[in-house]
Amino acid sequence: MDSLTSLTSFVRTAETLSFVQAARLLGISASAVGKNVARLEHKLGVRLFNRSTRNVSLTPEGAAFLTRCQSILEQIQEAESRADQQSLTAHRQTEDFTARHWLPPVAPRPHRL
């Protein structure tokens, strides 16, 4: 079981209070979201949602867990964003180096008229 997938399924379900809406946001089936949440509940040994045929609501434990999970997911997104920015900067530096040091000797010089 992928913990990050389960946490994301839990957070999206809690935010929308719907397995179907969470599934749409995540691009997976509602059944998969439900199974991810059920596995997470089993792993934690605590019920995160009260479920009925028409309603989904957070338990007190689920509400407390949601706050921590949202923080974790925000930190992951921030870390990924920073890594992307660093990668882009490194890529640009590589392009600059290549343009300055490799292209001039290889590229033909423009002819003067």
Give a yes or no: residue 87 inside a domain.
yes
Phi, psi of 87, deg, nearest 5: -65, -40
Give 26's pLDDT tier (boundaries 50, 70, 90). very high
The per-residue pLDDT for 88 is 65
Contact 49, 59 (CB under 8 A): yes
Residue 22: CATH number of its domain: 1.10.10.10
Name the residue with tokens 């009925």. Answer: 52
Give a yes or no: residue 43 inside a domain.
yes
* pLDDT tens profile 44-102: 999 999 999 889 999 999 999 999 999 999 999 999 988 877 766 666 666 666 666 66
Give a yes or no: residue 110 inside a domain.
no
Give a yes or no: residue 52 inside a domain.
yes
Give the pLDDT mean for 2-17: 96
Q: Is 57 helix (H, G, I), strand (E, B) or coil?
A: strand
Stated pTM of the model: 0.71
Give a yes or no: residue 108 inside a domain.
no
